[in-house]
Amino acid sequence: MDNKLGIGALTALVIGSMIGAGVFSLPQNMASVASPLAVMLGWGITGIGMIFLALSFQQLTELKPKIDSGVFGFARAGFGDFVGFCSAWGYWFSAMLANVSYLVIVFSTLGLLFDTPDNVLFGSGNTVISMIGASALLWIMHGLVLRGVKTAALINMVTTFAKMIPLITFIICAAIAFRWETFTLDLTGLHFDASYDLWAQVKGTMLITVWVFIGIEGAVVVSSRARNRKDIGRATILGLLTALSIYVLVTLLSMGVIKPVELAGYQNPSMAKVLTAIIGSWGQYIIGLGLIVSVCGAFLSWTVLASEAPYLCARDGIFPKKYLTQNKAGSPVKSLTLTNICIQVSLVFVMYAGSTYDTLLIIASEMILVPYLLVGAYALKLAIEQGKGSQLLFIGMGASIYGIWLLYASGLDYLLLSSLLYFPGLYFYLKAKKEQGRAPFIGKEKWGLIVLTMAAIAAVVLIVTSGISV
């Protein structure tokens, strides 16, 4: 049986990974932090930046065919084992939290559809009933992935096509209902505080726009399972352009249907409320059903991507070797189990801490920023060291600048707080090196550990002195 993935399955994996829950909450998420003009500027910056990142993936997969460990494989090749591990851990942690957020938004949507003021069953996806339902869905997906990545990819392809139906329906309806006077009523965000100017609004959109593009690397992460390596880059570019078109249309058309200041107060998934305002009560059911199908597909994609990370790291010697274990279908059993146990524990925390989809969005987005930056940095380094020509140099420089901009726009506080989340991963890295009888930190890697430790100490001081919660 051929377990390799073709261009269709790879493209569906990229689109399915990116278009999950985020698109259904985009209208409210963006309106709450930015005016229509700032949103257009934000999408412009993000679109250009993500194109540079996608081109970096395309170039690197062709120039370095032996690197098939995805995002973190490039970081390891360019900057050593420890940096590669940190990239992998940040990526895995982000993927794991993305799956938690998907489960939360599914049951939050059920709350939107079926809860009443006198009978709250699902709430914001963080009630006991929601946790039980989310746990059941988690382990059903676990069973599907155990049947093999090929099977999971085929199911994802079906759900990717299915999720397009409500999205296209929304775009058509919103385009018909769009009013220019509504869109331009508060074009620059005069309703925001005076200190929150246009530039601050653009910065405010960055974590949201990054969140909905997480998954652009889907084809790269499973590159070892691709039938043709050239399909990896093609799938990445095609998936990016498809998702970008949908995101821009959904966001901007919504702001021409509902005043942004009103849109900002909508409950998520806000797309349901917008469509309800256009066509009536059927709107929330169309979007609600579309979201559940979309999220289940994205959840399946991300279960595959998250479980690949520890497996590939174990193969590269930066994760304990027991995570190399595969079943007869080729699924990484130990890696999948570790990922889903962590998701299950996180669901319990979500219930007791009362965390919401928006909270998980911020943490997951922050954890992916460094891995993305390292991809651009490796492309730039490769171009300089090997004289690969002006094209790769331009692409690597563009992706690196975008990565640095994201870290700046997200804020130093979030970056410092995210450093704390890297420390639990050191257990796996140190254990892997002990198994090999090798020193865990060699040469400049010691400086990497020092920088990470100093950032974590600064984060603790920030929490204590400022009362910021993690």
Percent of the chain with pLDDT over 90: 7
Distances 254 to 43, 121, 169, 178, 180 between C-alpha atoms, Å? 15, 29, 13, 8, 11
The larger pLDDT score, comparing residue 369 to residue 466, is at 369
Separation of alpha carbons 133 and 439, rounded Å: 44
Rounded mean pLDDT of 211-240?
72
Separation of alpha carbons 385 and 379, rounded Å: 10
3-state secondary structure of 310: helix
Rounded mean pLDDT of 146-156?
67
Host domain of residue 285: 7-410
304-342 residue pLDDT tens: 778 888 888 888 888 888 888 888 877 788 888 998 898
pLDDT at 165: 85
Residue 346 lies in a domain: yes
Residue 441 lies in a domain: no
* Count of alpha carbons within 13 angstroms of residue 264, beta-carbon side: 14
43-68 residue pLDDT tens: 998 889 888 888 888 788 778 878 77
Rounded mean pLDDT of 417-445?
85
* Count of alpha carbons within 13 angstroms of residue 153, beta-carbon side: 23
160-200 residue pLDDT tens: 777 788 889 899 999 999 999 888 888 887 778 777 888 88
| pLDDT exceeds 60 at position 86 | yes
- Chain center to CA of 24: 14
Residue 426 lies in a domain: no
Give the burial class of 255: count Cβ atoms within 10 A of its Cβ; 0-12 exposed, 13-18 middle, 19 or more buried.
Answer: buried
Residue 432 lies in a domain: no
| pLDDT exceeds 50 at position 1 | no
Distances 11 to 3, 99, 198, 218, 470 between C-alpha atoms, Å? 16, 20, 35, 9, 35
- Res. 253 pLDDT band, cuts 50 70 90: very high
Separation of alpha carbons 307 and 95, rounded Å: 9
- Tell me which range, 125-134, 226-235, 371-380, is most confidently predicted by mean pLDDT: 371-380
b/e map of 129-139 (b: 16 or more CB within 10 Å)? ebbebbbebbe
| pLDDT exceeds 70 at position 220 | no
pLDDT at 470: 47
187 contacts 35 by C-beta, under 8 angstroms: yes
Tell me how far apart the terminal alpha carbons of the chain are, to the nearest angstrom: 46
Give the burial class of 447: count Cβ atoms within 10 A of its Cβ; 0-12 exposed, 13-18 middle, 19 or more buried.
Answer: exposed
Rounded mean pLDDT of 19-37?
84
358-367 residue pLDDT tens: 666 677 777 8
- Average pLDDT over the chain, rounded to an integer: 81
Residue 457 lies in a domain: no
323: closest CA among 341, 302, 301?
A: 341
pLDDT at 356: 58
Domain total of the chain? 1
Residue 448 lies in a domain: no
- Res. 222 pLDDT band, cuts 50 70 90: low
| pLDDT exceeds 80 at position 13 | no
Residue 34 lies in a domain: yes
Residue 460 lies in a domain: no
279-297 residue pLDDT tens: 988 888 888 888 888 777 7
| pLDDT exceeds 80 at position 298 | no
- Res. 127 pLDDT band, cuts 50 70 90: confident
| pLDDT exceeds 70 at position 144 | yes
pLDDT at 400: 92
Task: Count H helices and E strands in the chain, helices first.
Answer: 20, 0
pLDDT at 103: 83
pLDDT at 2: 52
| pLDDT exceeds 50 at position 76 | yes
CATH number at 317 reads: 1.20.1740.10
36: closest CA among 212, 193, 248?
A: 248
What is the model's pTM?
Answer: 0.79
